[in-house]
Structure 1
Amino acid sequence: MGQSDSKPGKCPNVRKNPLVKQTLEKLHSERDETGDVTFIVESELIRAHRCVLATHSPKYKAQFYGAHPDKIQISVDVVSAVAFKEFLQFFYFDEIALTVENIEAVLNLAKQSLVDTFVTECINFLIEVVTVDNLCWAYHIAIFHDIKQLKDHCEQEISANAKKVFAGKDFIKCDRDLLIRILKLNSLCCKETEVFDGCIAWAKAMCKQKNVDTEKGVNLRAALGKAIPEIRWSSMTVEEFAAIHNKFKGFFTADESSEIFCIISKLKNFKSERFNQIPREQTEPTPVKPNDELISKPHLRCDRTAVGKIEFDLKGNDSVLFFCNQGICLQGFVLGSKDINELKVDVMLEKVHLQNYPKTLVHKGSWNETMVLFGKPIDIKPLDRCYIDVNSSSFFACKDVYGLKSDVRIDDISFKFPLSGIVQPMGLITCLLFSRLD
């Protein structure tokens, strides 16, 4: 058989080399013996291979093989030895294990290495691990390192989960500059009194650090400083502000009190020189009328439920991150409860936020589930990451939720859910509804 009879691009003499992957792994495990450069990190000696590091990093290539190469021992400051070892994984492994504890240091080292792929992986990891409990931490990293996609993601999540953010422990740990940035957001889905309560909790935490009286209004005012004008007093009622004014003696000056009452009363043509008068946007999901044709249309189901029921109380919110090896048309998803009436759905596809994505709820009476169908299906390319966040105003006990898989295969289509373990009990979203892309 001639060469022309073989498949295009396929040569029968070409074979995979099973040792390529093992070579780098072996080099990593034997760094102490074969490494030719030593990094001194927190008094610990960490050896590596100059040629391996220089292969991908322009910084290390210039550092080790430039006109004036560095000596074989290099001191690394402002990073822990554990974080540096975590960073070295990028050069030796095809799968890396990043941690929340060290991700900021690893990100900084990745940026210094001038390898965009390393930086991108750190950013993707940060986006994946962001929760309501660490949003302010992630937002600080996004701002400090000027990461637009992470900053946009955090601002969207803070806006959507503002009530929980202001009541959380992560919020009172942020610095005043970050507090002000959060208050400047024009879309915070909570009452302005809840914004103020969050600011007071933050101010009390700052007073406690400085060992000053946390009950004196003058101390709370000094802690908040330039954050006070960013509270949208115009969104409060006269009664709400009067209650605040009476509770926190010494917090407001006489001029400020008079001006805030004018703002709340919405006096004609009154313009404040102190306070932000821009009203916050309270956007709600766009309602979509049920589409009989869409409802009756058959869907392929990517069912994540594992064998065995797990009974526990469930709140009406969940999120899922996934990607698959082939292009699909995502038409909706299934929630593991039929008790949901109101639902906010946000979708992010490859860092592009599809805010308030239109959807309709279809209750299935014969099964304890709710089908959520998009008014406009989403085309997803192979390996594109899709993030779905759902939030219901109702809280309920759900006794029919199963453990969820991290890998699901349907014929030749493979779905990966990287935030899940092998099998975990988590949340509402139990199934994806999709069709193949034509």
Structure 2
Amino acid sequence: MESPSTKRKRFESGVVIEDQVATASKSGFASKIFRRQYLDEKTADVYFICGPTEERVPAHKSVLSKASDPFDRMFYGPMAETGDVKLPHTNPDAFRDFLQFFYLDEVNLNMDYIVDIMDLTNKYCMPECLVVCGSFWAKHLTFDDICCAYYWAIFYQEPEFIEFCERKISAYSQLVFKSNGFLHCDYIVLSHILELDSLLCDETIVFEACMDWAQNACVRDGLNPNDTTNLRIKLKDSLYKIRYCSMTVKEFREHMDTYNDLFTDVKEYEDIIRMLSGSKNLKTGRFNPNPRSTNIFQWDDSRVFKCKLINNNNSSVFSSNKPLLLGGFYCAPISEATNWRHTQVDMTITEEPKTENSEKICPKIIVSKQIKLDAKEETYVEFADTGTPIIIRPEFKYRINFKPITTGLPFLIINRIREIKLDDETIMQFPQEDNDEDRAIIKRFNFNRL
């Protein structure tokens, strides 16, 4: 048999021969060897002395140097270190987790040390591993630590992690504002949150959250939290990032009754009043005159999940315990007995806050259009086609009304269910109401999770 080098020369000379060398296969043998070296004291040629307890963590110079330039200089550079490497301010458990990146194909990080691990990946110039840390943290985020995660995402300038945190903060803004993590977050986090154009809560809630944050900052620093001068000092320029233009006059005046001296500059106060009144000749100065939008939440066909209603029983009134994007829904045939093939109907979708008191709240119309419902086949009513899916907010109740343009159209009156569990976290609720007159059979919804 000819040697591989001979075959290569013959091919290069234009003579095509049959390749007798077997194609390489992935064996996983090398990975198995590396896994065995992880924290192996028998073969280790360097020890890291970590933390005040000086725990010894074994490693291999050659392995670490191949993945990290700082380690390469440490062990093989002109000023190469000899003996143990002392890391007195490094948590030994965090360093053990960090070493997984050098030896294991799959890492399992401890969330208690995730910030320390990210600091190590940054210190030793391993940007790919920093991204892995961000992705790992994203899978385990809670409302209490999302502001902390956002801080480190900004600090390390990780675009994907920043975008993930901003989407979650925007989608769950009201819950984030109530979290202990928000109350104790760094000023830079507060400032970045207020710059977001997509917070899914009323601006009055944003204002109250800022005041809560400032009062907590005052208490932490031994200042009087009831002194509006102290609140202004803590809020700095973030006070101008609140979108006062999205408040009602009543809401703003109620806030000013509570924080009477928050705006001591008459011009600032007048600018806000002009924004609230919708003045066309508005010069807002330092204030942001633009309402928040929801453009950050784009429909993604690859992330669709369907809410199929059991036995086709549903109500036109629904809510969710999690924020969702509604891309559209399917209506069952109106009635097989009808003489109409297609029927024009006026469809409206309204939104109103969920409330436990008896106060009558006027629903807000968020969609109003004419559609054709098919009498014999399913009809798909789509919102995502225009790039503006409907955002379903947890603190609101939504009602879909269908009003036939043609009189006498028989709508089927159906039984209703109370709730559907979409997954381990998301529940759709269909409250029973006896006064619903306009109904259509909605068989399933198309959603994106936020």
Bin the TM-score by the shorter chain: 0.5 to 0.7
1:71 aligned onto 2:43: no
Pick one of 214, 223, 248 that aligns with 1:203.
Answer: 214
2: CA distance, partners of 1:176 / 1:112: 24
1:117 aligned onto 2:89: no
Write out aligned runs for 1:25-424 (5 A).
Answer: 25-31=35-41, 33-42=42-51, 43-76=54-87, 78-255=89-266, 256-282=268-294, 330=302, 332-335=304-307, 341=318, 359-362=327-330, 393-394=396-397, 401=421
| Partner in structure 2 of residue 420 of structure 1 | none
TM-score by length of 2: 0.63
How far off its partner does 1:211 sit? 2.7
Contact persistence 2:98–2:117 (CA under 8 A): yes
Contact persistence 2:200–2:393 (CA under 8 A): no
More strand by share: 1
2: CA distance, partners of 1:262 / 1:374: 35
Unmatched runs of 5 consecutive residues or more in structure 1? 1-6, 288-328, 348-355, 366-370, 377-388, 405-424, 434-438
2: CA distance, partners of 1:157 / 1:147: 16
Are residues 428 and 148 of structure 1, via their aligned partners in 2, closer, same or farther at CA, if it must alter by over 3 Å?
same
Contact persistence 1:204–1:220 (CA under 8 A): yes
2: CA distance, partners of 1:125 / 1:54: 24
How far off its partner does 1:17 sit? 5.9
**Whose Rg is larger?**
2
Unmatched runs of 5 consecutive residues or more in structure 2? 1-17, 334-379, 386-390, 399-416, 429-445
AA at the equivalent of 1:30:
D
AA at the equivalent of 1:91:
F
Are residues 16 and 220 of structure 1, via their aligned partners in 2, closer, same or farther at CA, if it must alter by over 3 Å?
closer
2: CA distance, partners of 1:59 / 1:243: 57
Between Structure 1 and Structure 2, how many residues are aligned? Answer: 338
Are residues 8 and 29 of structure 1, via their aligned partners in 2, closer, same or farther at CA, if it must alter by over 3 Å?
farther
Which whole-Å deviations, capped at 9, do the CAs of 1:196-234 have from their partners, x for residues lacking one?
A: 010011112112212333233233222212211111112
2: CA distance, partners of 1:263 / 1:399: 41
Are residues 99 and 390 of structure 1, via their aligned partners in 2, closer, same or farther at CA, if it must alter by over 3 Å?
farther
State the identity %. 27
How far off its partner does 1:400 sit? 6.4
1: CA distance, partners of 2:321 / 2:420: 22
Are residues 374 and 211 of structure 1, via their aligned partners in 2, closer, same or farther at CA, if it must alter by over 3 Å?
same
Are residues 390 and 230 of structure 1, via their aligned partners in 2, closer, same or farther at CA, if it must alter by over 3 Å?
closer
Contact persistence 1:335–1:372 (CA under 8 A): no
User: Equivalent residue of 1:170, what SS?
Assistant: helix
2: CA distance, partners of 1:9 / 1:394: 70
| Partner in structure 2 of residue 386 of structure 1 | none
| Partner in structure 2 of residue 310 of structure 1 | none
How far off its partner does 1:195 sit? 0.5
TM-score by length of 1: 0.65
How far off its partner does 1:331 sit? 8.0
How far off its partner does 1:105 sit? 1.8
2: CA distance, partners of 1:284 / 1:119: 25
How far off its partner does 1:51 sit? 1.6
| Partner in structure 1 of residue 435 of structure 2 | none
Which whole-Å deviations, capped at 9, do the CAs of 1:280-335 have from their partners, x for residues lacking one?
A: 22459899xxxxxxxxxxxxxxxxxxxxxxxxxxxxxxxxxxxxxxxxx9584233
RMSD: 4.1
AA at the equivalent of 2:43:
T
Are residues 400 and 277 of structure 1, via their aligned partners in 2, closer, same or farther at CA, if it must alter by over 3 Å?
closer
